[in-house]
Amino acid sequence: MNCKKCGSDLPKDVKFCQTCGYPVSNWQRFKKIYILIIALIVVAIGASYLSSQSDDYISDDQYSARPARELSEYADTFEAQYNGIMEEVDDYESGNIDAEELARQFRGYSDGVKLNINNMLEDIPENDARNYLETTAWNLYYFADHCADYIANGDYSELEDGLKEAENFIERIENFKNTYLD
């Protein structure tokens, strides 16, 4: 260890430089100990973080295990998007929004569903659970996308048929949750 002021070589356990009288800080005297303590704290925090990660997994016969939590979050997201679509339909039917706004909202939801599907496909490797949820979500995407087209073209009879088919979406989400997440 050297003196900060004059650079002289200092013996261990001195409080002042023997050459210039400059005080030796505790940091200089115990630097290695402080670094070791900080390193141990960092290792302990890292180990704690890694041990707290969820061990909640889905497994199926054909593919390796996948985190159930992520698929559950995507299922909840798709369900929320479906509920948002249905709220827009209610607003339209009660006269709160016009057909043009409803078509715009449907298009926005279809774009959002497609984005979430693509994110899910990137985040979660293929397995039976993901494939089931992907198929269900694509059905929601096509429903919203086609309904936007029907409304834009003034074809409200097709919209009614699409709404009847959309009721199956919630059943499929519940089936997904019961089959793969319980």
Report which DSSP code applies to 124: S
Q: What is the pLDDT of residue 182?
A: 65
pTM of the model: 0.59
Q: What is the pLDDT of residue 63?
A: 40
pLDDT digits (tens, 9 = 90+) for 113-157: 999 899 888 888 888 888 889 898 988 888 888 888 888 888 777
Q: Label residue 42 by pLDDT band (50, 70, 90).
A: confident
Q: What is the pLDDT of residue 62?
A: 38
DSSP assignments along 15-37, one per residue: SB-TTT-PBPPHHHHHHHHHHHH
Tokens found for residue 49? 């973080």
The predicted model gives 153-181 an average pLDDT of 80
Q: What is the pLDDT of residue 111?
A: 92
Quote the distance between the C-alpha of residue 54 and its chain's center. Answer: 14
